[in-house]
Structure 1
């Protein structure tokens, strides 16, 4: 059953990428779409939560640590998207993608060394191959001229924030899943992301949304929400040190094939070799 949830999470993540790709091709404002996405995700997740059906009788006390985790993840979720977009513009796509993919080290380390998951040597080999394949499949790195230390920090921020976001989901499932449901937890994250994104737009004085942006935002919100929900369900049934590399590598493999089929991408020889190693790593991790 865990593999089914992984497949569903990956499918939703692939849908997010394609929706945002279409939005960019249509010259739409991504931050506006993200704000709508987080509002839609919050509403759907909150009203679908088990706690909502118990209102007003629900009186379970939520720990300050859990609230702090949800708030921090909510800030990181949207901040990471903004930083990632700026990093691509300032230091190049290759460096930015490499930073995001290699952040996989964080949740794997947390799963293995903080929560004491035990896996066999074959799965360790699968993890090493997965990390290697992700590096090989990064587009050719062409770093743009970096103006000042702030730009140089962008890939580092992506690496840290992406890693903490994934690790935070593992922390919830390991420490707080008995306090509140996955739906309520994710709704809290999305609410914070919506507030942060909305505040940015208000500060810019740019709070007008087109119907297309709202439509794309709602569509993104649905698949974005269930990408996180299904990932949490998978973490409940399988070790995080296995779930995270399988999800990331499968995303890259399928995303590459979609790019070839739909967007007419042309992978390099290095990327094709990374693709082959990625497929081998998936079999080792599933073995």
Structure 2
């Protein structure tokens, strides 16, 4: 594969990761319309994503081989962290508002950016640093949908944990991609993350409300199926995009987060008639400028 075609392929991996993550937003918005129970659909989504990973794995593999993989235990830990962070995001949204949860999640890109510089010696020139700083401003303006954001001091631990957990997930994915996962095993690694998340959700349900394990409705199963497919590909294509030779991991994570915020904002307008404030539009504009700077 020539350099130009490899670069184009890597860029498409990043675009597809952004598109898959943004499609998750569309599915979530549809849950309220079709009265889907979010918690059970989330569990179904993880099990669906796990199944997709096994389907896409390019060779036959016996199940007893999987725990021997060097990335297996980290994948299980990430799966547990996935569902923990999801629940923290839900609590943050309920207690402090959706805008706070969104900002905490997207601002977490600072953690993998710093990790890229410290762990991998990535060099960020003044222009790239300016682009990343602009991206952070863009994420804030585009994400905050209300004029007043609640920052109740006694509850600040919630967005702090969301920020930290989301950053750890991204940083861990990069580290494992760099050190432990062969290219051909990306689907299997992703499947194990989602399998661990789904299993954790089932165990929590069994402990808290065991009867509800047997009362799943078809709409919840369909909601999980619709969410699980793009969820799998959001991780799969991100892993592939992190191999992009032309950009540092700091740039990849920044472009990924800013791209998701921008595309989900535009999808909200196109499909759900969402109204944006002048500040939100400013965020979208700044996001596009930051993308141009970082990818140049």
Using structure 1 for the length normalisation, give the TM-score: 0.91
Residue 143 of structure 1 is matched in structure 2 by 150
Residue 286 of structure 1 is matched in structure 2 by 295
- Aligned pairs for 1:17-32 (under 5 A) are 17-32=25-40
Partner Cα separation in structure 2 for residue 179 and residue 12 of structure 1: 20
Change (3 A) 1:48 1:90: same
Residue 50 of structure 2 is matched in structure 1 by 42
Q: How far apart are residue 121 of structure 1 and its match?
A: 2.6
User: Does residue 1:90 correspond to 2:95, yes or no?
Assistant: yes
Residue 264 of structure 2 is matched in structure 1 by 255
Structure 2 residue matching 1:192: 3-state secondary structure: helix
Structure 1 residue matching 2:272: 3-state secondary structure: coil
Aligned-pair RMSD on alpha carbons? Answer: 2.2
Change (3 A) 1:108 1:188: same
Q: How far apart are residue 250 of structure 1 and its match?
A: 1.1
User: Does residue 1:113 correspond to 2:122, yes or no?
Assistant: no
Runs of 5+ consecutive residues of structure 2 not aligned to the other structure: 1-8
Residue 53 of structure 1 is matched in structure 2 by 60
Structure 2 residue matching 1:27: 3-state secondary structure: coil
Q: How far apart are residue 25 of structure 1 and its match?
A: 3.1
Name the count of aligned residue pairs: 281
User: Does residue 1:172 correspond to 2:176, yes or no?
Assistant: yes
Instruction: List, as ranges, runs of 4+ consecutive aligned residues in structure 1 with deviation greater than 3 Å.
Output: 54-61
Residues 62, 179 of structure 1: 8 Å contact kept: no
Change (3 A) 1:191 1:132: same
Partner Cα separation in structure 1 for residue 183 and residue 34 of structure 2: 43
Structure 2 residue matching 1:14: 3-state secondary structure: helix
Change (3 A) 1:112 1:32: same
Runs of 5+ consecutive residues of structure 1 not aligned to the other structure: none
Q: How far apart are residue 15 of structure 1 and its match?
A: 1.1
**Partner residue of 2:24 out of 16, 19, 35:** 16
Using structure 2 for the length normalisation, give the TM-score: 0.88
